[in-house]
Amino acid sequence: MTDTISPHGADALKPLFVADEQQRAKLVSQVNSMPSVLVSSATAANAVMLGGGYFTPLSGYMNKADALSVADSMTTSSGLFWPTPVLNLLDAELVKDLNAGDQIALKDPNVEGHPVLAVQQIDAIEKLEASELESIALQVYGTADREHPGVAEFLAQGNMVVSGSVQVLNYSYFETEFPDTFRTATQIRQEIAQNGWGKVVAFQTRNPMHRAHEELCRMAMERLGADGLVIHMLLGKLKPGDIPAPVRDASIRKMIELYFPANSALVTGYGFDMLYAGPREALLHAVFRQNMGATHFIIGRDHAGVGDYYEPFEAQEIFEKIPADALKIEMFMADHTAYSKKLDKVVMMREAPDHTKDDFVLLSGTAVREMLGNGIAPPEEFSRPEVAKILMDYYQSL
């Protein structure tokens, strides 16, 4: 067994959740006397990620200089590699009575009654001009098109950057709605250690896993000689039409239970909203997979993409453009995988140069959704029947 991988930019994880119960209770008792703001879902998700140690070594929300620097050169002002700004953006109206030095309660937009999610110490309140917001969107998302779901979400948050350290009081709805799946980076590191795994592959998903995804994970494990796999699913907000997290969770668990050896894979999830930022989000995914203790990370075709905003392998190519020492985690670069009728197994398409399109079982997402909605299971080469059953039940309930 090899040593575990160290977190990004630190010797130890820096989770910002207040773990000491007395200290947390004391803070909770003080929040009613603090000024409070209802934050955006994106800001709340950042708090959850900061709380769970995924955003080690950050101590809170970035200031304007760091946000602009990260957007421009993927480093903070102090030189830390970081691919996307981590912000608390608020409307001007919400900050007019706030000042640097204040301690404020951040209220959760995603939980009924808007309980306090975290307490922030305000270092500065700075305005982003419209041109600066546009510039950040362009650099992070590769577009400023408001039809892009990530850009629309980013530009809707407000233009005041409220920076400063945070103390996180809870994990929003993730812990209560996904008690078996939601894990902090600290918890995943502990599980990896308990399993005695040295080489660990992480797989990112916001969708159910079909045969091609399953075999891709198996392929990566075999080729890397990995001890274990961590399937790490996004549990936060998605765009309309995406399959809800509980359905994805059930289908992935069924696949692991039936088709993977015991104790070879962990099914886990994290509390973050999808950015759909393609290449930049792939880098961010790598940062927090390193923080949770994975040594390798699968980057597939159109990773974290949406629509036609990114080239198929842009999210892989960006890793060649960052400094060699920016990250310790290594990438497993994957091509599109599909079932080969010729070879009677799932292959990476680039590794079957003698194949034509007709030699593969290829189905569009639209075609699959239609089949499932009509109660028709996709071919077994495409989807495990037990997984298809869960998805059919969901689509037919709509």
374 is catalytic: no
How far apart, in whole angstroms, are the C-alpha atoms of residue 335 and residue 315? 12
Map tokens 């980013």 to a residue: 154
- Cβ burial of 21 (10 Å; 0-12, 13-18, 19+) is exposed
Peptide bond into 57 cis (omega under 30): yes
Dihedral angle computed from the Cα positions of residues 305, 281, 301 and 299, in that order, rounded to the nearest 10 degrees: -160
Three-class DSSP category at 370:
helix
Residues 6+ apart with CB under 8 A from 367: none
Using alpha carbons only, what angle is made at residue 207 by residues 16 and 271, rounded to the nearest 5 degrees? Answer: 10
Half-sphere exposure of 195 (CA within 13 A, CB side): 23
How far apart, in whole angstroms, are the C-alpha atoms of residue 75 and residue 37? 29
How far apart, in whole angstroms, are the C-alpha atoms of residue 194 and residue 276? 33
206 is catalytic: yes
Other beta carbons less than 10 A from residue 23's beta carbon = 11
User: Out of 195, 207, 218, 253, which one is annotated catalytic?
Assistant: 207
User: Out of 206, 218, 253, 369, which one is annotated catalytic?
Assistant: 206
Q: Which residues are catalytic?
A: 206-207
